[in-house]
Amino acid sequence: METKKILYSGIQPSGAITLGNYIGAISNFVKLESQYNCLFAMADLHALTVRQVPADLRARTIQLTALYIACGLNPENNIIYCQSHVPQHAELSWILSCFSYMGELGRMTQFKAKSEKNSENINAGLFTYPVLMAADILLYQSDLVPVGADQKQHLELTRDIAQRFNGIYGDVFTIPDGYIPKVTAKIMSLMDPLKKMSKSDDPDSYISLLDSFDDIRRKLKRAVTDSDADIRFDPENKPGVSNLLSIYSALKNVSIEEAEKDFSGKGYGELKKDIAEVVVEHIRPIQEKYNMLMQDKAYLNDLLKTNAEKAQSIAQKTLRKVYKKVGLYQIK
């Protein structure tokens, strides 16, 4: 991994991978992969901040591995790996937590939102989630981190922590840049277009990459819009319609203006129907490849084993440097 810059990103196997995860994150991974040395994680340690059914978490981790590949990521050139297979993440996270302030962690929007949603389980992991995310990114000396707009705040915190650490100990960490697409950075819930689409919400609020085509059509047909009949992009006044136009523009790779033009003179019924077909046709080849990959679990397991070793060897270099800098005694 010498010449190209390093790109890092991850997704939690905390639910069915949604169209939001795909448009906001995975589709950009696919666009960028050839220009960078990439690592893509199944962020299973992060998923534990919300109670998971163990068997489901395990199953979703291998499903996400197959989905990354089915969406177009090359399994040979990229390190697609499972976060918990690389113990250095948790180790660096502890060190970085000693360089993170309660005040800055308490200001994180995701912490506030998830605390509200899981009021019976506001655990310390939910609070220190961004520190673990900083460890993920900094362990690999990442240059670029493609994420959806919802993760922008965490990325800024990662930069702050890295700069703070470097300020004390010298240039230990590369300061990563974010890559956040503009218009389609945040896909909204189909049931409440003022909230982001989330895999841990009501299944009718999101489209999963593994949904049946009938379900996709049904969910889009029921998507919340508004009471006038005008199809235009206006997220403030028409969040539902704007969200549908964003989905269309992202999947068809056309501008929002072109998307508006394609629907001029049409009604909401037609808008939803047309978009459903665009989504189905986009997802069809992904599902075909996914189903093939899932029949070869031995291949997926071998890949995870090899990639865990590759990731560990890069991560250990950074961790060793960090331990030395902060003064932990090294056995000679």
Q: Which of 55, 67, 52 is nearest to 11 (CA)?
A: 67
**Residue 146: what are its φ and ψ, rounded to 5°?**
-80, 120
Q: Which of 4, 31, 114, 310 is catalytic?
A: 114
Q: Which of 110, 150, 145, 113 is nearest to 129 (CA)?
A: 110
The CB density around residue 266, as the number of other CB atoms within 10 Å, is 13
Whether residue 221 lies in the annotated active site:
no
Task: Output 180 or 322, the one with its CB closest to ligand AQP.
Answer: 180
Provide the minimum distance between the beta carbon of 114 and ligand AQP in the complex, in angstroms, as a whole number: 7
- Residue reference for tokens 């068997």: 55
Provide the minimum distance between the beta carbon of 229 and ligand AQP in the complex, in angstroms, as a whole number: 26
Whether residue 196 lies in the annotated active site:
yes
Residues 278-316 as b or e (16 or more Cβ within 10 Å = b): ebbebbeebbebbeebeeeeeebeebbeebbeebbebbe
Whether residue 199 lies in the annotated active site:
yes
Please tell me the distance from the alpha carbon of residue 296 to that of residue 225, in angstroms, as a whole number: 42
Given the rule CB under 6 A, which residues bind ligand AQP? 11-12, 14-15, 18, 20-21, 23-25, 43, 147-148, 150-151, 185-187, 196-200
Residues in the chain: 332
Q: Which of 152, 182, 196, 332 is catalytic?
A: 196
Burial class (CB in 10 A: 0-12, 13-18, 19+), 18: buried
Task: Output 25 or 303, the one with its CB closest to ligand AQP.
Answer: 25
Please tell me the distance from the alpha carbon of residue 174 to that of residue 165, in angstroms, as a whole number: 11
Q: Which of 21, 110, 6, 20 is nearest to 64 (CA)?
A: 21
Please tell me the distance from the alpha carbon of residue 60 to that of residue 34, in angstroms, as a whole number: 26
Provide the minimum distance between the beta carbon of 60 and ligand AQP in the complex, in angstroms, as a whole number: 10
Rg value, the chain, Cα: 20
Provide the minimum distance between the beta carbon of 314 and ligand AQP in the complex, in angstroms, as a whole number: 21
Provide the minimum distance between the beta carbon of 169 and ligand AQP in the complex, in angstroms, as a whole number: 29
Task: Output 23 or 315, the one with its CB closest to ligand AQP.
Answer: 23
Q: Known catalytic residues?
A: 114, 196, 199
